Amino acid sequence: MHTVTALISRRCRPFVASAVLVSTLAIALVSYTPAASGHEGASARFTQTHSLGSHPGVRPSYGWPIKPFNRQHPVRAYLNDPRNGHGDAKSFHFGIDISAPDGTAVYAVEAGQVFLKRGRMAVAVKGATRTFGYWHVMPAVRDHQIVRLHQLLGHICSNDGGGQHVHLAERRGSEYLNPLRRGGIGPYVDRTPPTVASVEFFRNGNAVDADALTGRVDIVVEAFDTTPMLVPAPWSGLPVTPARIRWSIARAPLRTAVDLSRSMLPARLYDSVYAAGTKQNYVGDPGHYRFYLAHRFDASKLPTRPCRLRIETIDTRGNRTVAQLEIARAV
């Protein structure tokens, strides 16, 4: 394993360049950008250990909606990425954004019946067990038309404020599934472990030091994943959400703080998942993904001596990062 010790200010976060990593272990902490939290507090020193997943391959259930169908394409946004800009209500991203130039042909990943979204550049294709939505697409099909696998549906357009990508959503019943889950879209290879950028502690909204915890505190971690393929400009180098975050203190078992791996979370959970200072990506302005590790953690339950807080972030392919830092009760 490869371990580093990081001293990351609350005013800074690492920026990790996109790359396909072929080594068994990898670490990237190459530059810093100002944090969005607006909180001023003591920096937290912690170690990070990065490792790659070793799960056996799982056959994908469908291919890519742009040519070539059997080759991986860059994905610039993941399921459950935060959406909280342009006056929009807070919500979770309900699919993945596959990068491609405007005008790129978009094809059906599964056969079914077409349903056009009125007033929106979107095509839905309802199959036997699930429905696929293709957004930011100028339709080349008719409403209620029956289409076969790999039939042309339309072309990527920017008429509705989208552009340079097709948003792919997979729905079974009322549940939006993660296309990047194992057994979803493919081929899909990811050898880029997530990154923990900072760990913060707040009591009544005020930052407190990791070695002076008292009362009930919120524990907030800024963490992100890196796209396994380089996304073309101007959307290159932007963060995406990890699949799962877990944590433990001392020798306690790991507990799950948030699981974004399988399906879209309900919008009502947004403020319990994402902490203040979270913002989505914009061109030239990387987002900040700040997760609640714990709400109102009772610091009085900490051991009398300093102990270890362990934070594990993992993606859909089992690549993981484990961050550890020393915390203590106030004396």
Q: Break the chain into its structural domains and give their ranges.
A: 2-56+190-327, 75-177
For the segment 36-60, what is each residue's pLDDT rounded down to a tens digit?
A: 333 444 446 888 899 998 766 789 9
For the segment 255-284, what is each residue's pLDDT rounded down to a tens digit?
A: 999 999 999 999 999 999 999 999 999 998
Mean per-residue pLDDT pooled into runs of 10, the chain (331 residues): 40 34 34 36 73 83 98 98 81 97 97 89 96 96 97 90 90 97 96 95 94 95 96 95 97 95 96 95 94 96 92 96 95 80
Contact 68, 40 (CB under 8 A): no
Residue-level pLDDT at 118: 74
Residue-level pLDDT at 235: 94
Task: Sort 137 into a burial class: Cβ within 10 Å, 0-12 / 13-18 / 19+.
Answer: buried
Residue-level pLDDT at 97: 98
Q: Which residue has the tokens 């997979």?
A: 170
Residue-level pLDDT at 48: 87
CATH class (in words) of the domain with range 75-177: mainly beta
Nearest CA-CA partner of 186 in 3, 62, 292:
62
Q: What single letter denotes the amino acid at residue 195?
A: T
Q: What are the φ and ψ backbone dihedral angles of 78, each rounded to 5 degrees?
A: -110, 165
CA distances to 83, 178, 230, 281, 283 from 234, in Å: 19, 25, 11, 11, 6
Residue-level pLDDT at 88: 64
Residue-level pLDDT at 163: 81
Q: How far apart are alpha carbons 179 and 60 in whole angstroms?
A: 10
Handedness of CA 67, 69, 70, 73 (dihedral sign): positive
